[in-house]
Structure 1
Amino acid sequence: MRDVVAGERSRRDVMAWGREAVEPELRAAVDTLPETLRRVAGFHFGWSDAQGRPTRAGAGKSVRSALTLLCSEAVGGTAAHATTAATSVELVHNFSLLHDDVMDGDTVRRHRPAAWRLFGVNLAILTGDALLTLALDLLTVSDRPEARQGGRLLGAAVRELVHGQSLDLDFEHRRTVELDQCVRMSEGKTAALLGAASGLGALFGGGDHDQVDRLRLFGERVGLAFQFADDLLGIWGDPEVTGKPVHSDLRSRKKSLPVAAALTSATPPGDELAALYERQGELADAEVTRAAELVELAGGREHCRERIDALLAEGLGHLDDAAVDASAARDLAGLAQLLARRDH
């Protein structure tokens, strides 16, 4: 892989660069799977159609791999030093997506049917399991001296991710969720893996202990802002851009940050939203539209935006404290801003 000077990349180019950098190793890892699981994984990654014929469907954003590669450059390494680590992170992320779609009942992923809709729940779950084992194998079989520490870092993030997802599922059966509980769930479900991605990049790039820790914290804060931006898109995102139905999180009665802020606002709109959420059966289109209005009237949208801005500032503070290469730091800061203020 050819390393590109960090300052030459635009914010969106960084993600395309990260995706292209890991795809060869990602494909090689998936090719080691049994044929049935390989076909499911190939469809999920957008490499093939349901029959296994090659295609180029919409790929994921590759945020995590881009963070890993940039953090390697930031501490004086090269992107090539951290390609295996970045590939491992992408495998973990896609393990979680396959499982999440099943648990949440989401039928669309990246403008295509979710894998479980085409191949069944069991094969989707097993394929996710297989991707997780590949991720850990890539790190643990490496002869790099950082491999053991990297494996522990990634393993801890997986445990946090699973815990966060379990909290998310638990919230569906609770009348209200406190804001700090919502934040804790998002720290596990999303922020932990972005933190691990950044920390792994610094580790494999040869960073010292403080740089690894600071960049991990940078990734976690940016990851939390990224999740809260996703919470906004789950209510107000454009389906043509996000690939998900309008108001999708409200239809499934998710207690995302803007919803939790509204439900705990002690306002008339918040009380009306709570009554809607407690109704039995599927919400009608008009009720879902009204729920979105109530979240905004109760201050949930503005609260979420304020949190995002604060988290972005915290993350950039950790990046400054890491004392890393100025050019790579600019790329990391630009990527952080893009993630926190994204539209898809």
Structure 2
Amino acid sequence: MTTIDTSTGARTGAEVLTWSRNLLDPALREAVGGLPESMRLIAGYHFGWWDEHGRPSTSDGGKALRPALALLSARAVGGDAEVAVPVGVAVELVHNFSLLHDDVMDRDTTRRHRPTAWTVFGTGAAILAGDALLCRAFELLAPFGQTALRVLSTAVIDLLEGQSADLKFEERGDVDTAECVRMAEGKTGALLGASCTLGALAGEGRQDQVDRLTEYGRALGLAFQHIDDLLGIWGDPEVTGKPVHSDLSNRKKSLPVVAALHSGTDAGRELDALYRKENLDVAELPHAAELVERAGGRAWSQEQADALLTGALHHLAVSDPVPRPGTELAALAKLVVRRRY
């Protein structure tokens, strides 16, 4: 089995995220600062930079995983992280465009330990702010050429298709596991894969390196969604910034839920009956979570995430990365998949 040299003095996954955030933030603030005032206020609130009145705040701005993948991918192929900063900003803007819209569609009232933007500024305003972030992302990527623009455009379309499927699943009782996996590959895997692709292109990597890092990112993206779905049921609100059992209260057809519904177990059938109700009472949510676990959904998602991590690390190793950023990409992948829930 191919392995990556770990004797490189590389940083931990958490340290990489801090490094990436410090490198990214000035350029990200500059990109948002150029938006019209109304959209700038909403975007800055969403990023945690200020409150709803524009007063400085120190709220959580998220992990900035996608920019970290872009910056490290550029370094992994022998390029400079600084050259890839506009790419990192672009993928972070796209990610947050999707979050602003996602919160509206899911009617989520909390993100990153504070009220969601749409609950503060209104639905239409939050949607427009998200649209502005998407436009700015493509503007930043334009100097990297048509190939980079096509990579991001394809990823956004895949993300939107995944989100569309996710919404439709809430109205259907016959969603199977394969469909749910395809949805997650688009909704989450596409942008993580594109982050690695764009970083490797910015670093002028060989085509085989670009291809392998893309596959690393896509596999990591699907693993990330498995863990995110587990957090959506069992996550600590102090860590996730969302209410406990939030996905169950929305009757989301997440990966562990769909696996449980198709388990052929008594617990799975009882969960199916609960999900067919008009609304789930708050008192029913812990029982629904227990049914997902008893039906095997929790264990299945964790096993899938672990297997996807192994696959991601294989793709990374055979991409022939520069040792230190290669080791840091491996550490970042392990950090993502081993989040506590």
Scaled to the shorter chain, the TM-score interval is over 0.9
Q: Match for 1:251: what amino acid?
A: S
Shift of 1:31: 1.2
User: 2:149, 2:45 → 1: CA distance?
Assistant: 27
User: Which aligned pairs between 1:183-222 and structure 2 lie closer than 5 A?
Assistant: 183-222=181-220
**For residues 225 and 9 of structure 2, what CA distance do their matches in structure 1 show?**
27
Match of 2:121 in 1: 119
State yes or no: 1:318 paired with 2:315.
yes
3-state SS in 2 of match to 1:229: helix
Q: Superposition RMSD on alpha carbons, in Å? A: 1.0
The alignment's TM-score, normalised by the length of structure 1, stands at 0.95
Give the Å deviation of 1:295. Answer: 0.5
Aligned partners of 2:146 and 2:88: how far apart in 1?
A: 15
Q: Structure 1 regions of 5+ residues with no counterpart?
A: 1-5
Contact kept? 1:167, 1:185, Cα under 8 Å: yes
**TM-score between both structures, scaled by the size of structure 2:** 0.96
Name the SS of the counterpart of 1:57 in structure 2.
coil
1:270-309 residue CA offsets vs partner (Å, 9 max, x unmatched): 00000000012x3122311111010011010111111001
1:135-157 CA-partner distances (Å, limit 9, x unpaired): 001111x2xxx422111111110
CA offsets 1:106-139 (integer angstroms, 9 cap, x no match)? 0011001100000000000000000000000111
Counterpart selection for 1:165 from 163, 166, 173: 163
The separation in 2 between residues aligned to 1:51 and 1:99, in whole angstroms, is: 21
User: Equivalent residue for 2:5?
Assistant: none
2:10–2:327 CA contact under 8 A, matched in 1 = no
Q: How much identity, in percent, do the aligned residues show? A: 56
CA contact (8 A) 2:259 2:297 kept: yes
1:234 equivalenced with 2:232 (yes/no): yes
Unaligned stretches of 5+ in structure 2? 1-7
Aligned residues: 334
Higher relative contact order (CA 8 A, sep 6+): 2
The CA distance in 1 between the partners of 2:318 and 2:308, in whole Å, is 15
- Give the C-alpha shift of residue 176 in structure 1: 2.8
How far apart are residue 8 of structure 1 and its match? 4.4
**Cα distance in structure 2, aligned partners of 1:109 and 1:324:** 35
Q: Distance in 2 between matches of 1:222 and 1:210?
A: 18
Amino acid at match of 1:76: G
Aligned match of 1:331: 328
8 Å CA contact retained: 1:67, 1:201: yes
SS at match of 2:92: helix
User: Mean Cα displacement is larger for which, 39-48 or 9-18?
Assistant: 9-18
2:139 match: secondary structure: helix
**What residue is the counterpart of 2:12 in the other structure?**
10
Whether the aligned pair in 1 keeps the contact of 2:197 and 2:211 (CA below 8 Å) is yes
